Amino acid sequence: TTGDRAWMHPVNVTVLTLLLGKALGMQTHTLRDLGIAAFLHDVGKTRLPDRVRLADTNFAPVEYKQYQSHVAQGIVIAQQLALSQEVQRTIGQHHEMIDGSGFPRQSRGQEISQSGKVLALVNRYENMCNPPRQSAALTPHEALSMIFSQMKDKHDITVLAAFIRMMGVYPPGSVVQLSDGRHALVVSVNSARPLKPRVVVHDADIAKEDALILDLEQAPSAGIRRSLRPDLLPQTAADYLSPRM
């Protein structure tokens, strides 16, 4: 595949998957296999026609079936690369959901490995934040909130809880508006106080390279009013904070 998203997506998924696996206490050898599976989870798409390479809600049933075949194609490529059975299995489960609504096998519950559950959750989250059509993108905060409120039956609750603890209510990279009206970019989470992350604050009186990093836990009067889509930032704030996908 080609284009920015084609290389960003597997890198993002791999980093977050390994962080979540570590947070869940996975052993080194399991993390190694998980990382390989995460990086190659969509490799089967290289064998699909361009028109069905990315998921589309307007797919005809036959096109959706063809899109789903990227999972089986990925397993075949993993076999050809002589990757471990665990890597093959995890690639095969990256679209499975514990309620049986996933594909290609409609696996349920414990039929899905822990690595498969981790990869499926992170893959869903990253696709929600960085979909093929950017106008449909959710902020990290919105994506986490939607998964927790509407998709809890599709993901293992232990894995989901660990992911939310790791990412925070406002994950790093989130654009927010503070209670005093200023705009800011979340740079790190506070696992003990999830509503009080550290943020870079837009302040026109301070040069961008000297931007203020504010620890909201140390500023009792400061808080987050709301999460914002980056494209809704005033231009001056967007230039200052430089949010990225």
Q: Answer yes or no: pTM beyond 0.95.
A: no
Four-CA torsion 115, 120, 121, 125, nearest 10 degrees: 140
Amino acid (1-letter code) at residue 33: D
pLDDT in tens, the chain (245 residues): 445 666 789 999 999 999 999 999 999 999 999 999 999 999 999 999 988 988 877 899 999 999 999 999 999 999 999 999 999 999 999 999 999 999 999 999 999 999 999 999 999 999 999 888 888 889 899 999 999 999 999 999 999 999 999 998 899 999 999 999 999 999 999 888 888 999 999 999 999 999 989 999 999 888 999 999 888 899 999 999 998 76
Query: Which pLDDT belongs to residue 74?
Result: 98
- What's the Cα-to-Cα distance from 70 to each of 63, 83, 136, 159, 176, rounded to whole Å? 12, 17, 23, 25, 37
DSSP 217: G
H or E element at residue 67: helix 61-68
- Per the DSSP assignment, residues forming a β-bridge with 178 are 224
Q: Which two tokens stand for residue 19?
A: 């962080």
Phi, psi of 201, deg, nearest 5: -105, 135
> Pairing state of beta strands 183-188 and 224-228?
unpaired
Nearest-5° angle of CA 85, CA 91, CA 96?
Answer: 120
